[in-house]
Amino acid sequence: MTLLDAGTWHGTLYSDGWVEATGGTAAVRSPATRDEIGVVGVANADDVARACARAAEAQQAWAAASYLERAAVLRRAGQLWERHAAEVGDWLVREAGSIPPKAGVETDTAAQECYEAAALASRPLGEIIPSAQPRLSLVRRVPVGVVGVIAPFNFPLILAIRSVAPALALGNAVVLKPDVRTAVSGGLTIARIFEEAGLPEGLLHVLPGGVETGEALVADPHVRVVSFTGSTAAGRRVGEAAARHLKRAHLELGGNSALVVLDDADLDLAVSAGAWGSFLHQGQICMTTGRHLVHERLADRYVAALAEKADHLPVGDPAKEQVALGPIIDEGQRDKIHTLVTASVDAGARLAAGGRYDGLFYRPTVLADVTPTTPAYAQEVFGPVAPVITFADPDEAVALARDTEYGLSLGILSRDVMKAMALADRIPSGIVHINDQTVGDEAVAPFGGVAASGTGSRFGGAAANVEAFTETRWITVQGDVTRYPF
């Protein structure tokens, strides 16, 4: 069976079935070839309003349904991701510019997110607490109602399903706004999977769109929680808008993560980790290794080896050839990357590798002789760029690693694990990997950053998901009505 028959979704939205979009349509284009590979509906504010109202209506019966029913839907969804992994993976390669192994990670993780969510449906959602009165005092976690999910283009499937699946499992309805550039792999695939899994109608709406769509979703009175993944600048706007409407916003934002290479690290393994952390999916990952902090004793050899590796990594269309890096998502992002690289070289950095592009194919780039003010070091690049800076001792490494507004992920490489752990304790970060690079995620693990990287771990893991997608309700029960003095 074909999951994504274009006749099902061509030019439409998924909102109580496949319907015409009031906001019109948009072409889906491959970033590698710029060819049109599909047409999706684009939602406007009217589409959002209708979807949110319908979601609120459908959610009440879903919240009252047995946890067995909710868990069964999620388990079937997990099985469907596995069954259709090749087809969905093909869309991730063509639409998002993913290399096939990265696409495989997304489909595998989507299945795992659904299986974990299925288990979440039967999790204890409350506790008995003491009371000074002769009564039973309970704390219960109840569904928030309607969850708005706004997901980006880079890992479009994972970064949507990690909110959609647990929110549904806990008894909520979901309105998902995927990025228009990856609306099929990051949105319509999810609609089709849950449609086939037997999710009751009205509970999931998939509304591709831009800023107007997102603003309408955040403002809609039926939406009580917004789960947003994207840039820090956009996240600030989402957080401000949500606060005006007195609703929670869970924000997973940008990063400029540091990989600290201590003087006792194995050089070959460190270079391999550094290359993977900076160049995986063209550096278009919030956790990408954006800053390489290397002890001065290793720095020259590290730069030389990293540059040699970068020069030999194949770049091209992952749908047609075996490559390490595919295309940048669009011209705007490519130009931002190149502007930062050029400005860094103009400011005194040495271009050890890369720094050039052909169409949307940007060569993996290594910058040496970097200072804390070098543009490609100081700012999030969101591209395949590895700026290398040196340090003389652990205190200087800590100072450099802390010198950022972000706090998402941190990698420390050392043969002395306890020394690395002690160093990590001094650097604020939501995620720490000892003897690994900065990019890593699992469905069972809490995920989130601090400071400009977001509002903490509100993604992944049972505890984080319950916190994110339920409200706390205090309930007391007593045998007789209390008699009061008046």
H or E, element range at 98: none
Alpha carbon distance 369, 349 (integer Å): 5
Concerning whether 52 is annotated as a catalytic residue, the answer is: no
Which residue is associated with the tokens 């974990």?
116
Q: For strand 289-295 and strand 257-261, is the pairing parallel, antiparallel, or unpaired?
A: parallel
Contact 266, 305 (CB under 8 A): no
- Hey, which residues does 368 pair with through a beta bridge? 350
C-beta separation of 204 from 149 below 8 A:
no
Q: Which H/E stretch holds residue 354? A: none
Whether 252 is catalytic: yes
Looking at the DSSP assignment, which residues form a beta bridge with residue 412? 260, 434
Say if residues 253 and 235 touch (Cβ distance below 8 Å).
Answer: yes
Q: Please report, as a single letter, which amino acid is at residue 396.
A: E
- 468 three-class SS: helix
Query: CA angle, 366 as apex, 362 and 369 as ends, to 5°?
Result: 140
* Nearest-angstrom CA–CA distance, 302 and 70: 51
| Burial of 155 per CB tally in 10 Å (0-12, 13-18, 19+) | buried
CA atoms of 55 and 245, how far apart (whole Å): 19
**How many Å apart are CA 471 and CA 143, to the nearest integer?**
6
Contact 367, 395 (CB under 8 A): no
* The residue type at 456: G
> If DSSP codes are grouped into helix, strand and coil, which group holds residue 130?
coil
Classify the C-alpha dihedral 326-227-61-141 as positive or negative.
positive
From first CA to last CA, the distance across the chain in angstroms is 70
Q: Which of 116, 286, 321, 396 is catalytic?
A: 286
Catalytic residue among 95, 106, 116, 252: 252
Neighbouring CB atoms inside 10 A of 321's CB total 9
Is 98 within 8 Å of 323 (Cβ atoms)? Answer: no
| Of 472, 469, 463, residue with least CA distance to 173 | 469
The Cα diameter of the chain in Å comes to: 85
Structure tokens at 455: 């509002």
Active site residues: 252, 286
